[in-house]
Structures are given as structure tokens and as C-alpha cells.
Structure 1
Amino acid sequence: MLIEAPLQKARLLRRYKRFLADVELESGETLTVHCPNPGRMIGVQEAGSEVVLRDSQNPKRKLRWTLQAIRVEQTWVNLDTHLANPFVESCIEAGSIEQLLGFERLRREVPYGTNSRIDILLESPGVEDCFVEVKSTTLLEDGVAKFPDAVTARGLKHLRELSEVAKKGQRAVIFFLVGRDDARSFEPADAIDPAYGVGLREAVALGVEPLVYSVRVEPDSMQLDSQLDLHLPPG
């Protein structure tokens, strides 16, 4: 997946108020840019880090530039959570995810459950529909990718909605997209959100399928890297 917009590199000065960041361009000019990541961004907001900015190309937007990615040691990490869904969609359509092959139709944001919308609904005649909920994460601890990086009542609700789908005998997938390629495995961030960890274990026990894939991030592109093992230590 290519990032089809003008890009430029900068240095991160600070991230604040969740959706704002100050950066210094190579020219020495400082800018305030949009940070498209509502999480705590643990480990991926260190001042002085090299970052990539994406031009919105929208003259009416208050903040022209968006924080696209950050370099952590030798690894580029995607910071734009809004890219997760279209990226997973493109991988499914390209046949890159073997567990999600064989469907003729992909629909987005389809209403289901109680006031919810499933990120991706896969359909084919004569085949059970497949409900796919996508979650993106950048959190890494000792080589283990984790989700969430903040308490997420909304994420827990999605797990419960998927569980109801699974109990009806339909396919329900929780897809964790790790926006970096230096993780060895994945597990829920129980220390941050114990309720989500319990919910994930319960959902898997009820038949929800967990899939975890890492991403190779470059300043101007994202590429599916590899499938990661999911570990569910006793809670």
C-alpha cells in the first residue's frame, strides 16, 4: 500500500492534547500537525524521533500536515489508525490473508448487533458471512505486541458483539494489525485493560477467531509482514 500524498520528514518535538503534535522540519521551521492516533502511544512519541508527515492537500484544513509514522530505533511505526481498515481491506482483496480467502464481496461499515457497525463483512453465495473487526496497535513490550494501550470500553463492546455472531454459528474474526515489524508475538495488554483481556479470552472460547499480522512500514508505504502467534496467558 503506497501512501499517495506528498510526504516530508521532520523531528518530533512533542505530542499533546491527543490529536496535536509539534515538529521541526529539516529547514528548522516548527509546525503544529494533526496526530491521527487517539491512544496513549506508549513508546512511540519520544521527543527527537524522526517522523514522516503527510500533506492533506486540503487548503481549508486548519492543520495541513498529518503525523504519518515515527522511527523507533531502526523500525518505522505507523501512527495513523485510520489507515488500518483500508490496509486490511486491500490485503484481503489481494489474497494476502489466507484465512480470509474465497469471498466474492467485501462490504464496509455494515450495521449489526446493537448500534454497531462491523468494519468488514465478507460474503459469498452458499458460504457463511464472515464478520471482521479490525484493531490497530503500536504497543510493544519486550518484543511482544499488545492491545489496547488505553482502556477501551468500545473495544470490549465489539468483542461482545462478535461473540454473539459466533454463537449463531457465523464466522467472527478479531483482526489485530500491529503497525510495526519488530514484534515476535501478541497478547492482550492485561495490565492496562484487564476487562478487555477477559473479554478477549471469553470471545475466543465462544468461537471468535483471532488473527494477528504485523506490518512492514516505510516512510512512503505499508506492506503485510507476517502472522504473529497469539498468547493468552491465564488471566
Structure 2
Amino acid sequence: MTKSALLKLNVVPCTFIERLNRFVALVDVNGETRKALVTNTGRLEEFMVPGRRAFCTPKRGGKTDFVLVAFEDLGGRGAIIDTRTQARAFERAVELGLVPWLRDCRIERKEVTVGKSRLDYLFGCPGGKIYAEMKSAVLRGGERGEYAMYPDCPSVRGRRHIRELIELSKAGERAMIFFIGAMPGVERFRPYSQGDPEIARLLAEAQKAGVEIHALSLALLPDGRIVLERPSLYIELEEDF
């Protein structure tokens, strides 16, 4: 298991109170009720439980005072829900050459327009360019909690991205979708068909069409370090179970 530190955040312990809407939650920080930005649009029901210990980072400007970065999880480590932090940590891992399925690659562009979608990354690699989309997998599953799963609710945007990747692959381009299993202790990834059965089906179709599918796992340590726990998770798609 790899435990490479990627980032160091200025985290502030907080306690989750409630989610006001898609983007704002109430948290308790040192006995005061404050508003925190939520960047993850998933339901996150297993984490957003009143009274659950969490980790925030201070924020300047806007209508919120903090960013809700993670929830305390296994062994005191944090499950990272903040998609911006996930992306920053992933990008650092690529820069350091710690991601085996992107070794010797570099990020050429972000937010790349393809068809009617914008994909997260265009990588430049020795074997050519790769169009890639990143998804946040912060739903735990399996008897031992060993699975990181996506999505936890229907995602029209997610379906559209996978379809665009399928078309790219059929057109002869390298296309990739990868999942950030941002929870401590996960070992495998699989789609959560109860959240969106169409995405589970599309991922299996994408693999058959040549789209590369990968996942890695991250966790937050109590001191604010983001670590790469596993640079590659085993992938199980619908046809496998």
C-alpha cells in the first residue's frame, strides 16, 4: 500500500449539522454555527449525518466561511468529499509520477470541450493524447467496506460524459474515465447500479469500446495531509458481478 503525501491542508475540526442545499452545509466550529461550501453534488447520505465529525478549511469571500473538505472515517482518517481537493491531489500525484496508468504523462489542458460536454483533462503521453474524465467515488460498499462506488444518485451529466468517451474511442482516440475513491481503506471500485443503473451499463459498454477505466484511493490524515493510499484499485464492472 502506497502512502505518499500529496498536499497539506490547513484543516479545522468541525461537526456536521445539516445540509441546507446542494452547495451549503451548516457546521459547528468551536461552538459556533457556520456555513460551509459543499462542492460535491452527490447525496453523500452515509457521511452527512448530524453530529458526525468532519474537517473544514477556512475560506475567504462569498456567502460561506469554510469549505467542508472531509468526514472522519476509518481510523480517524478522513473521507474526502471536496472535489477540488480530490482534483488537486490527483494532479499532484500525476506530477510526481505516482499514478502507474498515467506514468510519463502530463496534463496538457483542463476543461476540454468535446461534443456537447467538457471533459476534465487532456493528457499528453508518450503513446499519444488521452481525453479523460474524473469522477468522485465516495460511497462505500462491500461486506468489508472495501469498495469505492459511483454514483450515489442519478447523474445525467455522468451519462453524457461516458457517451462522449465512447464516441471518442470509436473514432480512434484514446479515452479514459477514472474514479477518485477518496476514502481510507478501499481496495476496489465498482459502479453503484442502484444509484444509476444506466451509468453501470454505460461503463461496461465503454470498456468494450476501448475506453480505459481506472481508479485510485486517497485519504485525509488528521494533521491535514492528503495521502495516496492505493494508486490503482481493482475495477469491477456490471458484467463482472
- After TM superposition, is the score higher than 0.5? yes
1:122 aligned residue: 123
CA contact (8 A) 2:184 2:219 kept: yes
1:16 aligned residue: 20
For these two proteins, the number of residue pairs brought into alignment is 229
> 1:102 offset after TM fit, Å?
2.3
> 1:20 offset after TM fit, Å?
2.0
Q: Which residue identity is paired with 2:131?
A: F
CA contact (8 A) 1:11 1:48 kept: yes
1:182 aligned residue: 185
Q: Distance in 1 between matches of 2:102 and 2:74?
A: 33
1:66 aligned residue: 67
Secondary structure of the residue that 2:49 maps to in structure 1? coil
The Cα RMSD (Å) is 1.9
1:134 aligned residue: 134
Q: Distance in 2 between matches of 1:2 and 1:196?
A: 31
> 1:105 offset after TM fit, Å?
5.2
Flag the 1:183–1:103 CA change in 2: closer, same or farther, 3 A: closer
> 1:104 offset after TM fit, Å?
5.2
Q: Distance in 1 between matches of 2:107 and 2:48?
A: 38
1:199 aligned residue: 202
> 1:196 offset after TM fit, Å?
0.6
CA contact (8 A) 2:36 2:68 kept: yes
2:3 aligned residue: none
TM-score by length of 2: 0.88
Q: Distance in 2 between matches of 1:131 and 1:24?
A: 41
CA contact (8 A) 2:107 2:121 kept: no
TM-score by length of 1: 0.90
1:182-213 CA-to-partner distances (Å, cap 9, x unmatched) read: 22311111111011111111001100011011
Determine if the alignment matches structure 1 residue 2 to structure 2 residue 15.
Answer: no
Flag the 1:13–1:212 CA change in 2: closer, same or farther, 3 A: same
Identity of aligned residues (%): 29
Secondary structure of the residue that 1:2 maps to in structure 2? strand
- Please identify runs of 4+ aligned residues in structure 1 that moved more than 3 A: none
1:150 aligned residue: 153
Secondary structure of the residue that 2:121 maps to in structure 1? strand
1:221 aligned residue: 225
Higher relative contact order (CA 8 A, sep 6+): 2
